[in-house]
Chain A
Amino acid sequence: MEKPNLTFIQKLSGNDIEFEKELLEVIKIEFPKEKIEYLDAIKEKDFKKTEYSVHKLKHKISILGFENSYKLADEYEIALREKKNTLQPQFDAVLEIITQYLENFEKDELPHYRRRVNR
């Protein structure tokens, strides 16, 4: 399974660490909300709402460097339009990886930032 990386964010920021932190903070706030909306939509069996949530989450999946999972999200989004949810387990697994990554961000990624700041 793929792991998140900061390649896109660093390219976007041009090594502006403050901006990278700002963007990641926004993702840390927005991602869990979108995940809850997605899970609620699944519970309600509302395919249109689920498709909309997957679309929003897909953007963050891409920002966090998941190339294959982005394709998976794309396929899932299309399938949901036809009221098919067979890709749900794989997509949920990607969301879980991102959740863990963002929850452990302070521990795992902050030292990386400190090293860059002190360089």
Chain B
Amino acid sequence: MNCLIIDDELTARVILKRHISNLDYLNLLEEFDNAIQGIKYLNEKNEVDLIFLDIHMPGFNGMDFVKSLKNSPKIILTTGDSKFAIEAFEYQSIVDFLLKPIEFSRFEKAVQKTLKSTIPQWQDAPKAEDIKPQSIQENLYINIDRRLIKIKLDSIYLVEAKGDYIHIKTEEKNYMVHSTLKKIEDKLPDSIFLKIHRSFVINVNKIIDIEDNSVLIKKDVVPISRSNRTELMRRLNLL
């Protein structure tokens, strides 16, 4: 889904670009710091599906922009002021509005709402957390800065939950991905991977040693929770 950002504030554009890069089905075409440039672009190119539009801009503001469009793409308004909400929904093209500063979870909801309500081919678009593994089970694809990067499953030795993100550590490189431990756990083969703590999933084949309530895996010392210890011990080929 092709999108534009129109916002005169660079900080807001940086945050939006970050959120867009976390959804692999969104493709940012351009960003503009004023609505006039946005209109020029729309007049020249007919490939925009969605616009993230700031309301508060000097001169020609966001609502002027909305009123001026004849065949408008879908619009998600971004604003620091909720008073615009009522006016906004008078326009069919406006599907949602996001209050700044924008958190990712709210951003994703607004995009999902746009996909489901407006474009038939996107009605079954998967949520970021719902994407299930395909037939190729040897690799995992992760979305980093709008690129789908392939990771060999058996090169992963540790996954750690960090807030709204997970830190995937592999033999070659580490990655920070917007996801949850539960989602990646569902995609990793049970035969190799095991959750040993609420914040950690490990590749059992990469264990170096186990001491008391922790596992040494590469250079990482990972805690084992009491509830997961039994399953870990069962999985080991103990002499």
- Chain A interfacial positions (CB closer than 8 Å to B): 8, 10-16, 19, 22-23, 26-27, 29-30, 52, 55-56, 58-60, 62-63, 77
Contact = CB atoms under 8 A, between A and B. Distances in A.
Contact of B165 (A8, A14, A26, A55): A14
A11 B104 CA distance: 9
Given A26-B11, A27-B11, A56-B56, A16 B165 contact: yes
A62 B26 CA distance: 27
B12 A12 contact: no
Given A11-B164, A52-B58, A30 B10 contact: yes
A22 B56 contact: no
Given A14-B163, A30-B9, A59 B14 contact: no
A59 B162 contact: no
B206 to A, nearest CB: 21
Give the interface size class of chain B. Answer: 20 to 34
Interface string B1-12: 000000001111
A77 to B, nearest CB: 8
B97 to A, nearest CB: 15
Given A30-B11, A52-B58, A56-B56, A11 B162 contact: no
Q: What is the interface of chain A mostly: helix, strand, loop, or mixed?
A: helix
Contacts of B15: 12, 23
A111 B65 CA distance: 44
Interface in B43-62: 56, 58
Nearest to A62: B101
